[in-house]
Amino acid sequence: MSTQELVPVQPHLAVTSEQIAIARNTVAKGLNNDQFAVYLYNCQRQGVHPLDGLIVPIVRKEQDGTERLTFVTTVDLLRSRAADTGDYAGSDDPVFSEYGGDNDNTPGMATVTVWKFVQGQKCSFTATARYDEYYPGEKQGFMWRSKPHVMLGKCSEGLALRKAFPKQLAGLYLEEELAKENKPRPTKPAEKPVGQVKCAECNAIGFHLPKCSKRQPQAQQGQGPAPEQQSPKEENVMCGDCGVVNGHKPECKYAKKAESNPDWTETVVVINSIEKKETRPGKDNTTKPYLVLGVTDRDNLEWNMYCWHKSLFQYLKPKQMMVCQFSTRKDGDKTFCSLEKVTELAGVQFADNKPATASEPQF
DSSP type of residue 214: T
- Count of Cβ atoms closer than 10 Å to residue 220 Cβ: 4
Tell me, which fold does domain 227-232+244-355 have in CATH? OB fold (Dihydrolipoamide Acetyltransferase, E2P) (2.40.50)
Could you give the residue range(s) of every CATH 2.40.50.140 domain in the chain?
227-232+244-355
pLDDT in tens, the chain (363 residues): 444 444 333 445 678 888 888 888 888 888 899 988 988 888 888 888 888 878 888 887 777 778 888 888 888 888 988 998 999 999 999 999 877 655 678 888 999 999 999 999 999 999 999 999 999 888 888 888 888 999 999 999 999 999 999 988 888 888 888 887 655 444 445 554 444 566 767 666 666 665 677 766 544 444 444 333 333 333 445 556 666 665 556 666 555 443 456 778 888 889 999 999 998 887 888 889 999 999 988 777 889 999 999 989 999 999 888 888 999 888 888 888 999 999 888 888 888 888 876 555 555
DSSP run (H or E) holding 9: none
Whether the pTM exceeds 0.75: the reply is no
Total Cβ atoms within 10 A of residue 76: 9
Task: Give the span between the Cα atoms of 5 and 170, in whole angstroms.
Answer: 22
Sign of CA dihedral 129, 133, 139, 145: positive
Query: Which residues face 124 on adjacent strands?
Result: 115
319: left (phi over 0), alpha (psi -120 to 50) or beta: left
The stretches of the chain forming alpha helices (DSSP H) are 17-25, 33-46, 75-84, 131-134, 142-146, 148-164, 166-169, 227-230
